[in-house]
Amino acid sequence: MIVIPAVDIKDGRCVRLLQGRMDAETVFSDDPAAMAKQWEDQGAERIHVVDLNGAFEKCPQNIEAVKKILETVKAEIQVGGGIRNRDTAKMYFDLGVKRVIIGTAAVRHPKMVESICKEFPNRVIVGIDAREGLVSVEGWSTATRIKAADLARQFEDCGVAAVNFTDIHRDGMQTGPNIEETRKLAEAIDIPVVASGGVSTLDDIKNLLPLEKAGVMGVITGRALYSGTLDLKEAISVAGQNRL
């Protein structure tokens, strides 16, 4: 299982939100690239970058910060937030981003996302963010009645690299990942799943490891790293580095 540190960018700074609320932020650094470098130096081979402003504004808002991260680290970079069309995805690929994460557009325009996946196989991650099993979109501000597993099934066999599954209630709360919902999603699809939301300590990483058999091949962690309750080197060592 691969451990993926998160660098969330809002107004050019590295922040963490509670349950995706833009009014509940903690600023951890004015230099997202420096944070990405810190995680790389501790062993990260992939870094999860989110343009929070882009998620709400529906198009990228922190491109310069992403560019600086790409110039600073050699680790693979995956980017999400405001990617709503093929041209935006290609723009990020041209910059050197390894994979893009598409969330809202996967709900609003699934056929378009399928087309992007087929054009850029294994480079698109579908981001599924859910409350009580139901998908939320538009930077988590809008709830739907779509079940997470039903959305994920739409993208079987079209070249999706992975599904990032975030339990919104747990994101940034350090209350432990939603093991059961993550397991259910992984068992319902053939696409590899990356768990996100709620990781607090090394025990949370250990609790996710049995889910590898169900197809959970990675975990994203943010606040726990920034607050110091989880040591990245130790987490990587425990989890091993099986690749998606």
Q: Establish whether 129 is a catalytic residue.
A: yes
**C-beta atoms surrounding 103 within 10 Å:** 28
- The distance in angstroms from the start CA to the end CA of the chain is 8
Q: Has 31 been annotated as catalytic?
A: no
Number of H helices, E strands in the chain: 11, 12
Closest CA to 193 of 219, 167, 170: 219
Helix (H, G, I), strand (E, B) or coil at 7: strand
- Choose, from 129, 167, 171, 204, the residue flagged as catalytic: 129
DSSP assignment of 35-77: HHHHHHHTT-SEEEEEEHHHHHHTS-S-HHHHHHHHHH--SEE
Q: Which of 240, 242, 198 is nearest to 221 (CA)?
A: 198
Closest CA to 50 of 31, 65, 40: 65
Using alpha carbons, select from 200, 194, 127 the residue that is nearest to residue 170.
200
| Residues recognised as catalytic | 8, 129
